[in-house]
């Protein structure tokens, strides 16, 4: 095998990726216990969990390992899911909502365990905070903290008022923070590549440039590519927002939404530390949120903006810079070295959409921009179900999901209006 790195998006992540031996494309008919579509965190986590249990696994990736959201993400590790806990309470009841929350914390721990076990070099850093911009949001943070303490036994969260947060974060933009020492951030592409390396070491076969063009269900599920096919007694769809019409019934439940990140030039250790002294990751609680953190080489990685079309927004670099300067005006002299984006798979209620279709075709999607920790957990939960223990997946499968009307690119005016309403709410 020759040395090559992934050709992920032209991002700072791609520029700083740890090289992984190039993986071949599928050019034959192959069999395994389980076939997995997608070499993001969901697919690789599933593969690792299964291989650790003794299953043979083939992963088929249309592009390269980590090419999707996993290699482009903000990398922020956050408890919970894309929806609020009360949404889950309404959907599955208080007891199961509590289990889902506890499992999301397992997802956070799992990252640390995998980094240690497989020695993954991915700049793992502890500490995450949610930020309030407006007085209304300060109250929201307090209520949130109380709810998590009272109903979910999550005492670790710390409420920081403006004075306290200013000791750590050099911005006037926020009125309060909810700091979570158990959250954190990492280099998501290097984490994904590290998972791939771990999977390979466990005997998993990964084929790159092997887009699944057809799925044939049956006693053995067959994934067909242009030059071959792979079949398994079980199959897993972990294609996120990129399935492109392969399984319309699943794709109708999610909407691909573009989100964007920029990376500044290197700031140097001292200037970076002056901005975020404890190097935590931060995300505000607007619907169209800003999120940021420092990279291992002391850049500011700043994410935000959304788009509901296939095209990147016009003047992206300029508008990302404007957003960055709203939080850190002291970076006006700093160059932006990289700007990139990707799609998140938003479900209508922003709750996770994981489950089984038919007898042996499993899927996990609907991470709703909240997938760094939840994807790892999804892989474990699906592997457990394949191994015969479906109690956890059954609870996720009880979460009801509705189809998005009007096709996945949000052509219906009603939905554009719904999103606009959320954006207007951010301005209150």
Ligand X SMILES: Cc1cc2nc3c(=O)[nH]c(=O)nc-3n(C[C@H](O)[C@H](O)[C@H](O)COP(=O)(O)OP(=O)(O)OC[C@H]3O[C@@H](n4cnc5c(N)ncnc54)[C@H](O)[C@@H]3O)c2cc1C
Query: CA-to-CA distance for 255 and 343, rounded, in angstroms?
Result: 9
For the CB of residue 338, give the shortest distance to ligand X in the complex, in Å: 12
Q: Which is nearer to ligand X, 298 or 353 (CB)?
A: 353
Q: Is 239 in the site for ligand X (CB under 6 A)?
A: yes
Q: Which is nearer to ligand X, 146 or 213 (CB)?
A: 213
Q: Report the residue from 20, 43, 141, 336 that binds ligand X according to the rule CB under 6 A.
A: 43
Q: Which is nearer to ligand X, 55 or 343 (CB)?
A: 343
Q: Which is nearer to ligand X, 4 or 424 (CB)?
A: 4
Q: Which is nearer to ligand X, 78 or 178 (CB)?
A: 78
Residues 6+ apart with CB under 8 A from 262: 301, 302, 303, 317, 320, 321, 324, 336, 338, 339
For the CB of residue 241, give the shortest distance to ligand X in the complex, in Å: 7
Q: Read out DSSP for 5-58?
A: ----SSSHHHHTPPPEEPPPPP-SEEEEEEEEE--SHHHHHHHHHHHHTT--EE
Query: CA-to-CA distance for 152 and 102, rounded, in angstroms?
Result: 8
Q: Report the residue from 127, 184, 303, 366 that binds ligand X according to the rule CB under 6 A.
A: 303
Q: Is 67 in the site for ligand X (CB under 6 A)?
A: yes
Residues 101-160 that bind ligand X (CB under 6 A): none
Place of tokens 């899911």: 81
Q: Which is nearer to ligand X, 164 or 307 (CB)?
A: 307
Q: Report the residue from 14, 26, 34, 38 that binds ligand X according to the rule CB under 6 A.
A: 38
Neighbours of 384 (CB within 10 A): 17
Per DSSP, helices labelled H in 21-176 are 41-52, 85-92, 94-117, 135-152, 162-166
| CB 39, CB 379: distance < 8 Å | no
Which x/- pattern over 246-285 shows residues binding ligand X (rule: CB under 6 A)? x------------x-x------------------------
For the CB of residue 368, give the shortest distance to ligand X in the complex, in Å: 8
Count of chain residues binding ligand X (CB under 6 A): 43
Place of tokens 């700072």: 12
Q: Is 85 in the site for ligand X (CB under 6 A)?
A: no
Measure CA 325 to chain center.
25
Residues at the contact surface with ligand X, assessed by CB under 6 A: 37-43, 60-63, 67-70, 72-76, 78, 211-212, 238-240, 242-243, 246, 259, 261, 291, 303, 341-344, 367, 369-372, 375
């Amino acid at each position: 095998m020759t040395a090559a790195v992934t050709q992920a998006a032209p991002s700072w992540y791609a520029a700083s990726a740890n090289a992984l031996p190039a993986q071949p494309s599928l050019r034959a008919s192959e069999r395994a216990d389980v076939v997995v579509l997608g070499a993001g965190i969901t697919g690789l986590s599933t593969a690792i969990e299964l291989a650790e249990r003794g299953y043979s696994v083939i992963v088929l990736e249309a592009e390269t390992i980590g090419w999707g959201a996993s290699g482009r993400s903000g990398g922020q590790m956050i408890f919970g899911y894309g929806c609020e806990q009360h949404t889950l309470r309404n959907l599955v009841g208080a007891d199961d909502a509590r289990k889902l929350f506890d499992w999301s914390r397992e997802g956070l721990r799992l990252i640390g365990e995998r980094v240690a076990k497989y020695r993954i070099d991915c700049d793992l850093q502890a500490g995450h905070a949610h930020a309030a911009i407006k007085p209304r949001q300060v109250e929201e943070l307090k209520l949130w903290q109380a709810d998590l303490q009272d109903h979910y036994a999550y005492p670790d969260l710390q409420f920081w008022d403006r004075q306290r947060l200013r000791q750590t974060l050099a911005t006037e933009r926020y009125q309060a923070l909810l700091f979570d020492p158990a959250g954190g951030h990492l280099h998501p592409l290097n984490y994904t590549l590290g998972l791939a390396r771990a999977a390979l070491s466990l005997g998993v076969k990964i084929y790159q440039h092997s887009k699944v063009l057809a799925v044939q269900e049956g006693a053995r599920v067959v994934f067909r590519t242009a030059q071959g096919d792979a079949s398994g007694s079980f199959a897993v769809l972990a294609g996120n927002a990129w399935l492109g019409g392969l399984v319309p019934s699943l794709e109708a439940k999610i909407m691909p939404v573009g989100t964007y990140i920029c990376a500044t030039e290197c700031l140097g250790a001292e200037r970076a530390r002056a901005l975020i002294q404890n190097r935590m990751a931060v995300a505000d609680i607007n619907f169209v949120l800003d999120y940021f953190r420092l990279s291992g080489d002391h850049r500011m990685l700043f994410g935000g903006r959304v788009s509901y079309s296939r095209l990147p927004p016009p003047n992206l670099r300029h508008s990302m810079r404007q957003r960055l300067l709203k939080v850190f005006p002291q970076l006006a002299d700093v160059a932006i070295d990289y700007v990139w984006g990707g799609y998140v798979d938003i479900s209508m209620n922003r709750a996770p959409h994981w489950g089984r279709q038919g007898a042996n075709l499993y899927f996990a999607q609907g991470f709703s921009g909240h997938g760094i920790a939840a994807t790892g957990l999804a892989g474990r939960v699906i592997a457990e179900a394949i191994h015969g223990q479906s109690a956890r997946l059954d609870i996720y499968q009880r979460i009801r999901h509705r189809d998005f009307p009007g096709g996945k690119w949000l052509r219906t005016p009603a939905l554009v209006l719904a999103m606009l309403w959320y954006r207007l709410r951010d301005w209150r």
